[in-house]
Amino acid sequence: MSDPETRKEAGPPPLLAVAGLDKSYPNGAERLTILREATFAVGTSESLAVVGPSGSGKSTLLNLLGLLDVPDRGSIRVEGREITLLSGDAAAAYRRDKTGFVFQDHHLLPQCTALENVLLPLLSDRSKTTAQDRDRARGLLDRVGIPEKENSFPDRLSGGERQRVAIARALIRDPLLLLCDEPTGNLDQTAGRRVVDLFLELVRERRMALVMVTHNLELAALLDRSLGLDDGRLRPVQTGGATTE
Ligand SMILES: Nc1ncnc2c1ncn2[C@@H]1O[C@H](COP(=O)(O)OP(=O)(O)O)[C@@H](O)[C@H]1O
Ligand SMILES: [Mg+2]
């Protein structure tokens, strides 16, 4: 029982384990294949970058992980539980409670303050927030570095600040999986770097798994590993300084 492979098998399953995931879309009489046998795992407190050209299927992959779309074949396990079998309320509960999304465009509501935007996901299954919720939301705004902006509306925030509000909002329900689709796409390199550094700290502090789609190889290199998506296949890629497997 001392051989490392046996020990590995005996441990808990990785936070996220994807195996043999296929996805295609109808395209006239044919089907357009987007993913072929996508297979990877991301552990607790780990980060994975997915890089690839526009149209290569990066958003499709994140949507599958967030159960916003269904694969043709394959398995997605979160803490060992097969999530592709979930539907209806169970799928909605998974999305709401286990995943946090951050997009290129922050999708903040312009008529709500930063604090109100952070609180929004709590209103998906109840009608009111409590003083305790507001304290938590303030704590998150503090953690993402903009405690003084709680009463600001999105149009009074910089691009980086808006993205920090979106990050705090993604964290309010304590997700396991942080799914980020080009989260630095609208930021300059310095602001983008700060946001990625924040993601990496948060992933460790909160014991999440991060999957971040980007076409910025320099930023991808800051994550634990990078996979390139091309012609439907995921392959290890070398990003700048960091070698990846
Ligand atoms: N719902 C859909 N129906 C048909 N084709 C789609 C759908 N969603 C995405 N596609 C196609 O799948 C391919 C991959 O899209 P996407 O995942 O958005 O790529 P990326 O995020 O890498 O730019 C594109 O060719 C896109 O047009
Ligand atoms: Mg995309």
pTM of the complete model = 0.92
Q: Reduce the DSSP state of residue 158 to 3 states and report it.
A: coil
Q: Reduce the DSSP state of residue 131 to 3 states and report it.
A: helix
CB 202 within 8 A of CB 208: yes
Ligand 1 proximal residues by C-beta, below 6 Å: 25, 34, 52, 54-60
CB 182 within 8 A of CB 149: no
- Interval between CA 134 and ligand 2 midpoint (Å): 33
Residue 4 parent element (H or E)? helix 4-10
User: What is the model's pLDDT at position 242?
Assistant: 46
User: What is the model's pLDDT at position 106?
Assistant: 87
Q: What is the pLDDT of residues 100-112, one digit of tens each?
A: 999 999 899 999 9
Q: Reduce the DSSP state of residue 68 to 3 states and report it.
A: coil
H-assigned helices in 49-188: 58-65, 88-98, 114-119, 131-143, 159-171
Q: Which ligand is nearest to the CA of 61?
A: 1
Query: What span, in angstroms and rounded, lies between the C-alpha atoms of 179 and 118?
Result: 17
Q: How far is CA 46 from the centre of its chain?
A: 12
Q: Domain ranges in the chain?
A: 43-70+86-236
Provide the 10 A C-beta neighbour count for residue 10.
8
User: What is the model's pLDDT at position 11?
Assistant: 82
Which CATH class, in words, describes the domain spanning 43-70+86-236?
alpha beta
Q: What is the pLDDT of residues 13-35, one digit of tens each?
A: 999 999 999 999 999 999 999 99
- Interval between CA 66 and ligand 1 midpoint (Å): 15
- Interval between CA 34 and ligand 1 midpoint (Å): 7
Q: pLDDT-derived band of residue 240, with 50, 70 and 90 as boundaries?
A: low
